[in-house]
A and B are shown apart, each in its own frame.
Chain A
């Protein structure tokens, strides 16, 4: 049972480049989330989804877009990367109420 899988795990981008982070969960969870984690800031919610085909903005959505075309996948896109988007990105899922299951994280550096 893989749980929540994020790809890629590491990526270096130049300012202005675009990329997509993929999150896949095999637990049939309805809710999926993208967070970023920065030193001293904790986990900040970027976007989330409460079901296939739905997305909503979190605390820090600017500069990011998401899509949930399939229930098991939640994609996070950066259209024009900026150095301020250097961070560790975590995907998480939950069945409804209760525990959030996190992926291992994706480390992104924007030069």
Chain B
């Protein structure tokens, strides 16, 4: 079993829809949770960074962490065609943890 599980999709939604992405994990020591966005043929770039449980909002993006269920989510409101990308979750146990554990990534297409 992988340490971080993420449904690879693909996910196709109409413009303006809410996109819901999630990851589950098995390591209860994880405290730092990240979402990266990767456009086709580009490197991943950090989208959201959260610590421990709770919600974090940044514009149209909301990240949620439920440590009791070992489950994290990313919501994209009012989705745009420019949101079409692969979204990867990542997590680590400590702020100085050298290694991140990544999910496989979910490919999202927003149709105009």
Q: Which residues of A come within 8 Å of B, CB atoms?
A: 4, 31, 40-43, 45, 48, 50, 56, 58, 90, 92, 96-100, 102-105
Contacts and interface: CB of A to CB of B under 8 A. Distances in A.
B6 interface: yes
A92 B46 CA distance: 12
Contacts, number: 47
A100 B46 contact: yes
B99 A43 contact: no
Given A96-B96, A98-B49, A43 B102 contact: yes
B49 A99 contact: yes
Interface in B23-68: 32, 34, 36, 41-46, 49
A103 B95 contact: no
Interface size class of B (residues with CB under 8 A): 20 to 34
A48 B98 contact: yes
B49 A90 contact: no
A97 B88 CA distance: 19
Contacts of B102: 42-43
A29 to B, nearest CB: 12
Given A90-B44, A100-B44, 6 more contacts: A42-B6, A42-B88, A42-B102, A43-B88, A90-B43, A100-B36
A105 B99 contact: no
Contacts of A43: 44, 88, 102
B13 interface: no
The 7 closest A-B pairs by CB, nearest first: A102-B43, A97-B95, A42-B104, A43-B102, A99-B46, A42-B102, A102-B44
B43 A42 contact: no
Nearest to B92: A97
A40 B8 contact: yes
A98 B32 CA distance: 9
A37 B36 CA distance: 14
A56 B99 CA distance: 11
A103 B105 CA distance: 18
B43 A103 contact: yes
